[in-house]
Amino acid sequence: MELTKLAEVLGLKEDTTEEAIMASLTELKARAAGNGDKDIVAKLQADLAEAQKRLVSLEGVSAMEKATRDVDEAIKARRFVPASRETLIKMAVGNPAEFGELIKATPENAVFLNTGEKGRDGDGGTPIELTETERKMALQLGLSPEEFMEQKALDAGKPVPTEVAMVLAARRKK
């Protein structure tokens, strides 16, 4: 093939030197070889993207399992009521650090701290006491705290505390 025709096919000027034509052919050959590399690079990138998706999925499953474990432990420790389990799991998955802070800030048996009752579970001898809210409610209803405690004990199926019964008996005699 003549150099002028080759130069024309390569898009070079007619008076291009043989060295410039050879350089152009070498560059063209390198680009052709590079296209094969591009296919390999594209496949590797696709494989990497797929691996990253699987990793994210596995991390999500792992995070969900850890969150569920943490929430169940907190419920067993009576930090939270079982009815809040699903909400707590969502919180633990969404922001594990904040959930950890909530766990640290919530004491064990917190579910029972504000019930107004003291004593042991199931012993039947748990004294009846009024919470501050119940005291306010008694006043709003026009009842004395002792009358409210009496009703609370009766509603719970427990005996009226002796000191409360004595105060009420003395009032009722008058």
pLDDT digits 0-9 by tens, 3-22 = 777 777 878 887 778 888 78
DSSP category for residue 27: H
The rounded distance, in Å, linking the Cα atoms of 107 and 9 is 83
Q: Which residue stretches of the chain have pLDDT < 70?
A: 1, 32-37, 110-127
| Domain containing residue 167 | 132-173
pLDDT at 24: 84
pLDDT at 117: 45
DSSP category for residue 82: G
Q: SS3 of 1, please? A: coil
Same domain, residue pair 155 and 108: no
C-alpha 67 chain-centroid distance: 6
Q: Is 28 a domain residue?
A: yes
The rounded distance, in Å, linking the Cα atoms of 148 and 138 is 6
pLDDT at 146: 87
The rounded distance, in Å, linking the Cα atoms of 98 and 112 is 23
Same domain, residue pair 107 and 55: yes
CB 160 within 8 A of CB 153: yes
DSSP category for residue 17: -
Same domain, residue pair 108 and 136: no
Tokens standing for residue 3: 């150099």
Question: What CA–CA distances, in Å, run from 18 to 1, 15, 25?
Answer: 12, 9, 11
pLDDT at 119: 41
pLDDT at 161: 84
Terminal Cα-to-Cα distance of the chain (whole angstroms): 133
With CA atoms as reference, report the closest residue to 165 among 143, 138, 137, 146: 146
CB 99 within 8 A of CB 88: yes
* Residues in the chain, overall count: 174
Q: What is the total count of domains within the chain?
A: 2
Same domain, residue pair 107 and 138: no
